[in-house]
Structure 1
Amino acid sequence: MRRTLVTLTVSTLLAPWAAISAETLYVAGPGGSFQKTFEEKVIPGFEARSGAKVVYVPGSSSDTVAKLMAQKGRQDLSFIAIDSGPMARAVEQDLCAPLPTVPALDDLYPNARIPGGRAVGYGFYATGLGYNKAVFAKNGWAAPTSWNDLGDPKFKGKISIGPISGYGVEALVMVARANGGSEKNIEPGFQVMAKKVAPNVLDWEPSQATLSQRFQSGEAALVVWSNARVQLVVDQGAPVAFVYPKEGAREGLMTACVVNGAPQPKLAQQFLADILSPATQVTLAKYSGYGPTNAKVKLDPDVARTVVYGSDRVNALVPIDWSVINKQLPEWTKRWNREVER
């Protein structure tokens, strides 16, 4: 399917900074370490160049989309930076404006382009398995290699997975894929999750901060998490590591769009161009653990080894179809609550 972009004139897109300098841009995105990176490493440079003020509004990706839907036609947010699943809903609900003509768009990996020409990926990550090496060594356990390791009885009470509204849905789909199913045939996923994985689960933890603490301490020795999240725990000195399962790690993509009906569309377009620029992509890789979607970005080896970087690693990730998942998620959630997270 052809992806159509609305073409803006160069003079419109690259409007003089002075013309937008009195504006305040409201940007919504994840909280925690990601918010810290944006507020300390990304936003100050943008403010200095533009003379504008940027206010960061933290919240979960799902909550951000819900807010946009509730305020449709009277938005106060101009720009959102959220995960690809909720972004698919935002695009379907006409909450994102057509992409402007930003030069960096031509430099993106193909799988960083969102169908419909209204959103774009700015950071890759992988969802796989994280394990506490100290706990595994103490018990004489080999490092995990498969999504099906989540169902190994020896890990009873030592596994933490997010709820169906978070990493749980990714675990469900990837377990289904590891057992002959997919998001289009989720039955194998529910069978394994309910009968084998759920009995091993310590908790279905929605808080990333709480999960981080349990992972560091070893209370949760095996987790379903992203490489970026695991790397943050590694950077704190904990004996943990990330594993790309043999069946593949889920392709994670942090995405962005200019809000449809945004109060400051030109400023939001400039912000989009900024986060796709090589300089900002390097910053996000270094401080947030997200691999660059701009194929022209060059990373230092010490940073490159910690993120999804380069065509080989990017192409090895397993994409999932969020349009299929989002349509079925309400029913999956009811079944999850009955059979899995009881």
Structure 2
Amino acid sequence: MSKFSFRALPVLAALAAVAAMAPRPAQATDLLIATWGGGVEKVWETAFAEPFAKETGINVKIVPVPTPEAQLRAQAGNPQYNAVMVTYPQGANLMRDGMVELLDPAELPDTADTNPRYLMRNADGKLAGVSPYFMYYGIAINTDEAKPGDFKSWANLGDAKWKGKLAITRPIYLSSYDLPIIAKAMGGDEKNIEPGLDLLRKIVPNALTTYSSIAHMNGLLTRGEIAAGPYYSGRVWHLRQQGAQNVTMVVPEEGALMIPYLLVMPKNAKDMAATKKFMNYVSKAEPQLRGSVLGGYLPLNAKAKLPAEAEEQMGMTLAELMTRLYQPDWAYIADNQTDRINLLEKLIADAR
């Protein structure tokens, strides 16, 4: 079991802020990029959008929404966003449904520095998007209400002592994240989910609530309304950067789930040339490192080397962390997502 002992990184954060605050040339066009809220948008503005505008003159507005993928689907045929952040399984479904532009890697040359394993392609080698970073999915705790040692295993979430003291996410994410890693921890995997379902039947009655957004979960954690819950490493990192010292992250002994993210371009999006420039920019090492400092987003560009101080906050090196992470078959998860959402909705209703 490992935990983050996050403390603020003032020097690194200040350097990232300087890059964003420098003067920028005249803006030629505006791009709208949809991301999640709850602090995600602030990191994107500082690490990616503002430095890109300074360098290119292309203004980028980051728009926080509860579910970016749902916005993309709702606007099919008349997209309002130039690019949208989605999860890896959502990206697979969007590509399958023909809802994103497939991109020539030659137009995004900096993607060559991303491990091919984390780039989503179609059969012809076209990219469904770019992969600027990953987070991992472990157990976030409020240290006023629980100790890291209370959650050495994913199974501890099912202990009766936590009744009314946990939070869980919505079935759309529960099916993609919680179920695969919990199944893996209990001896199964994303293709053999029964061991995970057995544990979820114990976890759900312990949940005070199902959190509806990143901002909602952030508040539950920092105010001590819950003791713990499965959550994203980057969100806990960002909370601590904002001064919340009573939250930390646990990697259970069975490991945590690695979650790559995709920035995709909706089908028939406007200003494609400018959008491709931005997508290539977020594939570079330097902006990814700013994202890691500000938001705990772990870079996927092979040339991006985390500062020693950042690895110190993680309690391990990035290389060591990678050995503790599970990377499931995301295509399989995407193909079975609808059925599993329905299954989990019923499980939650029955368990409560």
- What TM-score comes out, normalization by structure 2 length? 0.82
- Give how far 1:149 is off: 1.0
1:1-342 correspondence to structure 2 within 5 Å: 22-60=28-66, 63-94=67-98, 95-101=100-106, 102-116=108-122, 117-136=127-146, 142-167=149-174, 169-194=176-201, 196-235=202-241, 236-306=243-313, 310-341=318-349, 342=352
> Quick check: 1:175–1:189 contact (8 Å CA) kept in 2?
yes
Kept after mapping to 2: 8 A contact 1:27/1:77: yes
Match of 2:298, SS? coil
Superposed displacement of residue 167, structure 1: 4.4
State the SS of the aligned residue for 2:145.
helix
Moved more, 119-128 or 73-82: 73-82
Maintained 8 Å contact 2:184/2:196: yes
Deviations 1:77-100 (A, max 9, x none): 222222222222222222132243
- Mapped to 1, the partners of 2:266 and 2:94 lie a distance apart of 9
> Which whole-Å CA distance do the structure 2 matches of 1:78 and 1:309 have between them?
35
* 1:280-324 deviation per Cα after TM superposition (whole angstroms, max 9, x unaligned): 011111111101101111222222344696344235321122322
CA distance change for structure 1 residues 270 and 245 in 2, over 3 Å: closer, same or farther? Answer: same
Letter of the 1:320 partner, please give it. P
SS in 1 for 2:225: coil
Residue 21 (structure 1) shift: 5.9
What is the rounded CA distance, in whole Å, between the counterparts of 2:334 and 2:113 in structure 1?
29
TM-aligned CA deviation for residue 68 of structure 1: 2.9
Q: Distance in 2 between matches of 1:189 and 1:136?
A: 23
How far, CA to CA, are the matches of 1:109 and 1:65 in structure 2? 24
Instruction: Tell me, yes or no, if the aligned pair for 1:160 and 1:203 is still in contact at 8 Å.
Output: yes
The change in CA–CA distance for 1:181 and 1:38 in structure 2 (over 3 A counts) is same
Amino acid at match of 1:120: V
**What's the CA shift for 1:193?**
1.0
Paired amino acid for 1:129: I
Task: Report if aligned partners of 2:36, 2:214 keep a CA contact under 8 Å in 1.
Answer: no
How many angstroms apart in 2 are the aligned matches of 1:302 and 1:166? 32
Q: 1:203 to 1:171 in 2, by over 3 A?
A: same
- Residue 122 to residue 305, structure 1, CA distance change in 2 (3 Å): farther
Do 2:91 and 2:128's aligned partners in 1 also have CA atoms closer than 8 Å? no
Distance of aligned partners of 1:306 and 1:93 in 2 relative to their CA distance in 1, 3 Å threshold: farther
Instruction: Tell me the alpha carbon deviations over residues 48-103 of structure 1, each in whole angstroms, 9 at most, x when there is no partner.
Output: 3322232323223xx43333334434333222222222222222222132243233
- What's the offset of the Cα at 1:168? 6.0
Which whole-Å deviations, capped at 9, do the CAs of 1:158-202 have from their partners, x for residues lacking one? Answer: 1111121234642222222222222212222222211x2122222
Distance 1:243 1:294, change over 3 A: same
Aligned residue identity for 1:222:
A
Residue 129 of structure 1, CA deviation: 0.8
Following superposition, the deviation at residue 258 of structure 1 comes to 3.1
Aligned letter for 2:324? A
Distance change >3 Å, CA 50–CA 190, structure 1 → 2: same
SS in structure 2 at match of 1:197? helix
User: Which stretch has the larger CA shift, 244-253 or 200-209?
Assistant: 200-209
The question of whether the paired residues in 2 share the 8 Å contact of 1:28 and 1:77 is answered with yes
Q: State the shift of 1:205 in Å.
A: 1.4
How far the C-alpha of 1:35 sits from its partner, in A, is 0.8
- Contact 2:183 2:197 survives alignment (8 Å): yes
Change (3 A) 1:40 1:106: closer
User: Relative contact order, CA 8 A, sep 6+: which one is greater?
Assistant: 2
Task: Could you tell me which runs of 5 or more consecutive residues in structure 2 were left unpaired when the two chains were aligned.
Answer: 1-25
CA separation of 1:205 and 1:231: change in aligned 2, threshold 3 A: same
Runs of 4+ in 1 over 4 A off after TM superposition: 306-309
Q: Distance in 2 between matches of 1:262 and 1:86?
A: 18
